[in-house]
Each structure stands twice: as C-alpha cells, then as structure tokens.
Amino acid sequence: MRLEYFQMVDKVLALDLEARTLRTANTVPDQSPIFEGHFPGHPLLPGVLLFEIMAQTSGMLLLRLHNYDRMAFLATVDKGKLRTFVTPGQVIEVFSQLVHDGSGFARLKAEGRVEGKLVCNAEVTLKTMPFPAPELRGYLLQTAERIGMPMDASAPAGGPAPASVGNLTHV
Amino acid sequence: MSSTFETVANIIAETCDIPRENITPESHAIDDLGIDSLDFLDIAFAIDKAFGIKLPLEQWTQEVNEGKATTEQYFVLENLCARIDELIAAKSA
C-alpha cells in the first residue's frame, strides 16, 4: 500500500469472473506519516482506510467485470464493521463479491482478513459512469497491470483465474 | 399494480424512513417525498431485488436530461409501478 497516494490494493490473489469475486492482498506499510498522528506510540491503520481498501477492491472487481469501460465511485457503505486493530506490517486479504449490478450502480459485499481473522466487513454501493477523464481510465489500466489483474477474456470458463501479470491487450 | 405499489411503498418507507401513510400512488418520489439520488440508489437496489428486474435508471435520467421525458413519467409512484410491471412482463415474455 502507498497510503499517501491512496493506493490501497497491492496484488490480486484470485479473480473469478463467473462468481464475480476478487481477492486481493494488501500490506500495511511499516512507515507512514499517517502513523505519526494515528496514533503516537500506538500506530493503527485508520478505520476509514479499511473501508477504502474494501471499496477499492470492490471497484477493481467492478471495473474488470465491465472491461474498464466505466468508472466506479464509492457512494454508500452499509453495515460497516471495524472488528479489530490493524497495525503496520500486517497483510490484509480483502474479498469482494458483486451482489447486484444495477443501472448506474452496483452493490458489493466485502470483507478483510488478517491471518484468516475477520478485521472488517461492509456492503458498498458504487456509482458507475463513463470515465470523466481519459487519463483516469489510463491510470486504472496501469493499476490493473501493477496489481496483476488477470485480463484474459477466457478467465470465466475455467473458474478462478490465476493471479498473473496482466495482459492489457484484451481490454 | 396495487401489489407492486404496496411493495414499492414499503421499500421507500423502510429505506428512507418516511411514514408509510405519506406515500401514495400520486406521490412524486423527488418533489413530494424528498428522495435524493443517493437514496434512490438504495430504493432501486431493493426494487431490483424484490422484482428480479433492473430499473433502467441511466436511460431514464438521460431521457429526462435531454427533455425527452419528464420526471413525472418515472418518479410519480403510480407511473414508476407501471414501468416496473412492464419490466416484469417483459422478463416473463
């Protein structure tokens, strides 16, 4: 994670286009100015960033399902729970599942775990719309490549797609 | 239509914390009930789920913005319910 740049997602572990799920791995950095204030002597990943990491994993899933033709913005967080502290150096595995793909919005369920233990969960609504700026789509495609989002169009037929270096030629 | 309206009115009452008795078939979701676009996403989600349909919100919004339709056509509840019934019929056709 690069917290100061809001880059919350590090790596795709598994994408299943048929089940409409995505699992990501995300390492909380050892050092960040955020920990100087949150909190002195007791560094914790802020809870809002746990919601952000669930929202971003959900957004990455939705963008992939829509083949990067639309942008997704966080609109609501329902039933959000922050269950325990998350500290520097820990790896958060986030799982997101698309529950409903509506017209101009989508509802997803997400949860985060550290060493198998549930640390956060929520239902998020993402508003979807055409990319408001072309460079934003480019940035998201670069992000997809950085995190190893499988881009092979044949992924759904074989069940979960392995996390591998993204191939953006199929976008 | 009447059972559709009952379902929709209950969804709105629960989602937006509006007294059920204030919601009538003639109510305009935006002008009379004060439902904003964000709340309407929750309502649309619940309606989609309840009826197994997908309200074409983007298409409706575009038509209203382009002056091809009025908000009354889609957001007065009796009209909204008529659209829902059409979508249900189209699904089972």
- Secondary structure of B20-57 in the HEC alphabet? HHHCCCCCECCCCCCCCHHHHHHHHHHHHHHHCCCCCH
- Give the mean pLDDT of B54-75: 95
Express each pLDDT in A132-158 by its tens digit: 999 999 999 999 999 999 998 655 433
Q: Are A164 and A106 in contact (CB under 8 A)?
A: no
Q: Which of A92, A122, A129 has its CA nearest to residue A107?
A: A122
Would you tell me how many other CB atoms lie within 10 Å of the CB of residue B82? 17
Using DSSP's 3-state secondary structure scheme, residue B3 falls into helix
Are B59 and A103 inside 8 Å of each other by CB? Answer: yes
Q: Does A107 touch chain B (CB under 8 A)?
A: yes
Instruction: Place B93 in a pLDDT band, splitting at 50, 70 and 90.
Output: confident
Q: Which of A90-94, B38-42, B89-93 has the highest mean pLDDT?
A: A90-94
Q: For residue B53, what is the nearest residue in chain A, using CA coordinates?
A: A102
Are B56 and A103 inside 8 Å of each other by CB? Answer: yes
* Closest by Cβ to A125, choosing from B41, B49, B61: B41
- Residue B71 predicted with pLDDT over 80: yes
Express each pLDDT in A70-119 by its tens digit: 999 999 999 999 999 999 999 999 999 999 999 999 999 999 999 999 99
Are B58 and A103 inside 8 Å of each other by CB? Answer: yes
Are A102 and B49 inside 8 Å of each other by CB? Answer: no
- Residue A30 predicted with pLDDT over 80: yes
CB contacts of B44 in chain A (<8 Å) are: 102-103, 105
CB contacts of B51 in chain A (<8 Å) are: none
What's the rounded Cα separation, in Å, for the pair A100 and A124?
11
Q: Percentage of chain A with pLDDT > 70?
A: 89
pLDDT at A103: 96
pLDDT at A160: 45
How far does A52 lie from chain B, in Å, by closest CA?
A: 19
∠ CA(B62), CA(B8), CA(A106), 5° rounding? Answer: 50
Q: Are A22 and A156 in contact (CB under 8 A)?
A: no
pLDDT at A154: 52
CB contacts of A104 in chain B (<8 Å) are: 41, 57-58, 61
Contacts 24+ apart (CB under 8 A), B59-67: B59/A103, B61/A104
CB contacts of B38 in chain A (<8 Å) are: 75-76
- Residue B84 predicted with pLDDT over 90: yes
- Residue A159 predicted with pLDDT over 70: no
Mean confidence (pLDDT) of chain A: 90
